[in-house]
Amino acid sequence: MTDDLNGLLVVSIEQAVAAPYLSGRLAEAGARVIKVERAEGDFAREYDHLVHGESAYFVWLNRGKESICLDLRDDEDKTLLEAMLKKADIFIQNLAPGAVDRLGFAPDRLRRENPRLITVSISGYGEDGPYSKLKAYDLLVQAESGLSAITGNAASSARVGVSVCDIACGMTAHEAVLQALIGRARTGKGRHVSASLFHSLADWMNVPYLQFAYGGKSPERNGLSHPTIAPYGAFSGSDGKQVLFSIQNEREWLKFCEKVLKLPDLAADPRFNSNSNRVAHRKELDGTIERVFAQFPRDDLSDMLHDAGIACGKVSTMEDLSRHPQNRYVEVDTPTGPVRLLAPGALMDGEMPNFGPVPALGEHSELIREEFSSLKSAAE
């Protein structure tokens, strides 16, 4: 764990994915993160029990945090949270719309009393507008944002296979919090960050949106084929496994025909001698590629493409991913034993980070209550 944010206190009333993603990244940078849970715990603890009894989601998102169980309908626990927030640098919450205000912890009130506090509210659709009071979950927002309309193939839309809206929102909130910390260092004042699943993913949808808004063109669902470049897509080898490759220019097309297909005359065929012609005759071109590729297993095809200087990637199964030679790993402790995870995407000075343990439900309740008891008494 790095210590860039060492000394910062983060209090997070959080559940599921987006808010824990944000607070988890802050914990990885050295912040102290107190995770406030109900007596039954963050419901992400129960998403599955596949990691020797732990939830894959929870293990991924909650490394290095402290867990305290609070009943925020109870006056004593509310007073304890009030005391914690007086010392906090960052307060995160992703309760149902309006819930944090009804509990008495409205962000604007907290920042009036603690001007250096950075407050973060994560929601489905933002804090204003006609959808602001609606609940939202990842797959709902994949549909609502238009992502589903451009994902899948001609037969059907498809869900992106990970919680992309939640993750996009957590990443967006993380960027905003780091900016707010820089701003606070300059001005001495905190600020309020509002991040939503819908707006975070809508930002990612800007290219298809602009293509439609200004060009009147809605992208088609093309599965694992590129809509405007050919050949650019996934093809099966003799073992039924797929490799995905891309031809970006005529030089690569010539190399592909000569070194991979072993059909050098194909490069000059009038149907295929430009990208526009290849797209127009995609069905015939794909048929030729499929006949050649059917003679070789996927891994051999991958080697042939790499040797020809053609960008390609195996369409990996989870088994393939688990054995991928490029993987980096981190190990974290959990209440039921150590877990090896795929490492975060960024390295600092080439060093692999170390992460704190995943907390058991309420593991730190007693210690945190004792720590903030004097401040609680003062608040009372």
* Domain residue ranges in the chain: 9-205+326-379, 232-314
**% of the chain with per-residue pLDDT over 90:** 88
Task: Look at residue 255 and tell me whether its pLDDT is greater than 70.
Answer: yes
Mean pLDDT along residues 318-327: 94
pLDDT, tens digit (0-9, with 9 covering 90-100), for 77-111: 999 999 999 999 999 999 998 999 999 999 999 99
Radius of gyration in angstroms for the set of CA atoms belonging to the chain, rounded to a whole number? 25
Distance CA 72, CA 68 (A): 12
User: Which among 4, 18, 17, 11 has a CA at the least distance from the CA of 65?
Assistant: 11
Q: What mean pLDDT, rounded, does the chain reach? A: 94
What's the pLDDT at 1?
53
pLDDT, tens digit (0-9, with 9 covering 90-100), for 256-271: 999 999 999 999 999 9
Residue of 82 and 2 predicted with greater confidence: 82
**Binning pLDDT at 50, 70 and 90, where does residue 320 land?**
very high
pLDDT, tens digit (0-9, with 9 covering 90-100), for 136-154: 999 999 999 999 999 998 8
What's the pLDDT at 220?
86
What's the pLDDT at 351?
84
What's the pLDDT at 354?
78
What's the pLDDT at 88?
97
In this prediction the pTM is 0.90
What's the pLDDT at 376?
56
Asked if 40 contacts 33 with a C-beta cutoff of 8 angstroms, the reply is no
Asked if 205 contacts 147 with a C-beta cutoff of 8 angstroms, the reply is yes
Mean pLDDT along residues 235-257: 96
What's the pLDDT at 230?
94
Distance CA 20, CA 56 (A): 13
What's the pLDDT at 145?
95
Distance CA 259, CA 295 (A): 15
What's the pLDDT at 219?
85
As a residue count, the chain comes to: 380
CATH classification (class only), 232-314: alpha beta
What's the pLDDT at 277?
95
The answer as to CATH 3.40.50.10540 being correct for domain 9-205+326-379 is: yes
What's the pLDDT at 380?
53
**Which H helix or E strand runs over 112?**
helix 107-113
What's the pLDDT at 312?
96
Mean pLDDT along residues 226-254: 95
Task: Look at residue 338 and tell me whether its pLDDT is greater than 90.
Answer: yes
What's the pLDDT at 190?
97
* Residue indicated by tokens 């290095």: 64
pLDDT, tens digit (0-9, with 9 covering 90-100), for 343-376: 999 888 888 877 899 999 999 999 999 999 876 5
Q: What DSSP assignment string belongs to 54-75? A: B-HHHHHH-TT-EEEE--TTSH
Residue of 192 and 376 predicted with greater confidence: 192
User: Which among 196, 192, 207 has a CA at the least distance from the CA of 150?
Assistant: 207
Q: What is the DSSP letter of 220?
A: P
User: Which among 13, 26, 179, 29 has a CA at the least distance from the CA of 104?
Assistant: 13
